[in-house]
Amino acid sequence: MFFDEVTEPIAYEGPESDNPLAFRWYDADRVVGERTMRDHLRMATCYWHSFNWPGDDVFGAGTFDRPWLDGSQDPMTAARAKMAAAFEFFDKLGTPFYSFHDYDMAPEEESFAKSCANLDALADEAAEYMEDTGVKLLWGTANLFSHPRYAAGAATNPDPEVFARAAAQVRHAMDVTHRLGGANYVLWGGREGYETILNTDLRREGEQLARFLHMVAEYKHDIGFTGTLLLEPKPQEPTKHQYDHDVATVYGFLVRHGLEDEYGVNIEGNHATLAGHDFVHEVATAVETGIFGSIDANTGDDRLGWDTDQFPKSVETLSLVTYHILKGGGFDTGGFMFDTKLRRQSLDRTDLFHGHVLGMDTLAKSLLVAQAMLDDSALDDVLAERYAGWDDELGASILAGDHGLASLSDHVVDHDLDPAPVSGRQEALEGLVNRYVERVA
Ligand code: XUL
Ligand code: CO
């Protein structure tokens, strides 16, 4: 046992509870609309920040109490201890899913074949833990950004041998994800971008990335993997210009290369704000373009311009995000995955519970707010009224293609058109959303 301070699974105690290790809003079996909270939110814990990261940063060493990371152990023994800790945590916390990168779970060796053997052995053990605990895999992925070979990119590397190495690694990570019944497979192109245009051929790198993504989609069908392939946008960090900048950029790339039916997006809150967008903008754009897939639930800091990956804590922000997800029909294979890090001073193992309880309660309360807004169709009514003209004769005939500039010009002159501006009522709508947040129960 690694989490001795938490002797029982975290339980729902209701909003009045002052127990920091209880849920005040996440009541897994509560039915909201047509699904239980568990099935709506499909929450997942990540392996990397929670179990691999020792709490180091660019200025200092690890601060966390994580005995399974003790470097004096044999790497496979350490990996097994880490897995035991991870599944003990998932089970006590009650997130129904988890996610991992290949080399979070298994130590990477110099030889690729040995790295694969390590991962195969550990994945077999993960399958047993999954069977015993009922925890499922939301998504798997390959780490194509940590090893120095990927410094200049994986698929977008100037060296085709690096492309080949990345392809081999993704193939194996997909095999393992498939074997473990993963609901999705994610590609985050952390090094698929560039530092300086002086050494970069944008056209070639774009073509390489497209070829890579076609190969991944073909392989998915070859092995009969039925999960969803997801790209995770991020504008920068670690590269200066990352190609998958935001949802709209990814959508344009997919359409340009005939890949839009094969891929969706995994939208991360902190990546959205790094791209200069509201989180909800990215979700709404993905729903609108039909590529919404999954969420990396986290938040940045208002004043820091990097990926701080903090636990989500704003019900206001997440209510709008969840509202747009519900409006789009809710999650299909995706879910809310906590791609979240504790602050470096949150040293104790129990802090991992505090972070996740904060995030899970924030999402649960947001779900209730979102469902209430949806049930009352308060925001939808505003939209219907605002755009009503487009359903009337003039709007409908413009959209039907019945007009050109000349005929519209005649229409303006004939009717002496002088349309009056109408209030957008932003503050009234912000107050409306606040009332839903205040009244949720
Ligand atoms: C990095 C990031 C990754 C991806 C998976 O910013 O979000 O953890 O989610 O590679
Ligand atoms: Co992420």
pLDDT (tens digit, 9 = 90+) per residue, 190-219?
A: 999 999 999 999 999 999 999 999 999 999
Q: How many domains does the chain have?
A: 2
Same domain for 317 and 362: yes
Query: The domain containing residue 140 runs over which residues?
Result: 26-375
Q: Residue 297 CA: which ligand is closest?
A: 2
Residue 38 confidence (pLDDT) above 90 = yes
d(CA 268, ligand 2 centre) in Å = 6
Ligand 1 lining (C-beta closer than 6 Å) = 101, 141, 186, 188, 190, 232, 234, 268, 296, 307, 339
Active-site residue identified among 27, 104, 296, 361:
104
Residue 271 annotated to the active site:
no
Q: Give the pairing of strands 136-141 and 97-101.
A: parallel
Task: Please give the average per-residue pLDDT across 43-60, as a whole number.
Answer: 98
Contact 269, 299 (CB under 8 A): yes
Same domain for 402 and 278: no
Atom 8 in ligand 1: residue holding the nearest Cα: 339
Residue 221 annotated to the active site:
no
Residue 72's pLDDT band (cuts 50, 70, 90): very high
Could you read off the pLDDT of 184-198 as tens digits, one per residue? 999 999 999 999 999
Inside any domain, residue 20: no
Active-site residue identified among 101, 245, 277, 324:
101
- Residue 378: its pLDDT value, please? 87
Last residue in a domain, options 360, 375, 390:
375
Inside any domain, residue 9: no
Inside any domain, residue 2: no
Alpha-carbon distance of 398 to 402, in angstroms, equals 6
Could you read off the pLDDT of 95-108 as tens digits, one per residue? 999 999 999 999 99
Closest to 371 in 3D by CA, of 329, 438, 322, 337: 322
- Residue 138: its pLDDT value, please? 99
Closest to 243 in 3D by CA, of 277, 286, 202, 273: 202
Residues 127, 128, 131, 135, Cα dihedral to 10°: -60
Last residue in a domain, options 375, 400, 422:
375
Task: Please give the average per-residue pLDDT across 25-30, as a whole number.
Answer: 98
- Residue 44: its pLDDT value, please? 99
- Residue 208: its pLDDT value, please? 98
Q: Is 121 exposed, middle or buried (0-12, 13-18, 19+ CB in 10 A)?
A: middle
Residue 174's pLDDT band (cuts 50, 70, 90): very high
d(CA 244, ligand 2 centre) in Å = 13
Average pLDDT, rounded, for the chain: 98
Last residue in a domain, options 375, 390, 413:
375
Same domain for 333 and 430: no
Q: Please list, in sequence order, all residues whose beta carbon lies within 8 angstroms of the beta carbon of residue 296, skipping any fewer than 6 positions away.
A: 232, 266, 267, 268, 269, 270, 271, 337, 338, 339
Kindly report the number of other CB atoms within 10 A of residue 330's CB atom. 18
Task: Please give the average per-residue pLDDT across 71-76, as a whole number.
Answer: 94
Alpha-carbon distance of 304 to 399, in angstroms, equals 44
d(CA 163, ligand 1 centre) in Å = 20
Inside any domain, residue 18: no
Atom 10 in ligand 1: residue holding the nearest Cα: 188
Residue 316's pLDDT band (cuts 50, 70, 90): very high
d(CA 232, ligand 2 centre) in Å = 7
Contact 156, 208 (CB under 8 A): yes
- Residue 434: its pLDDT value, please? 98
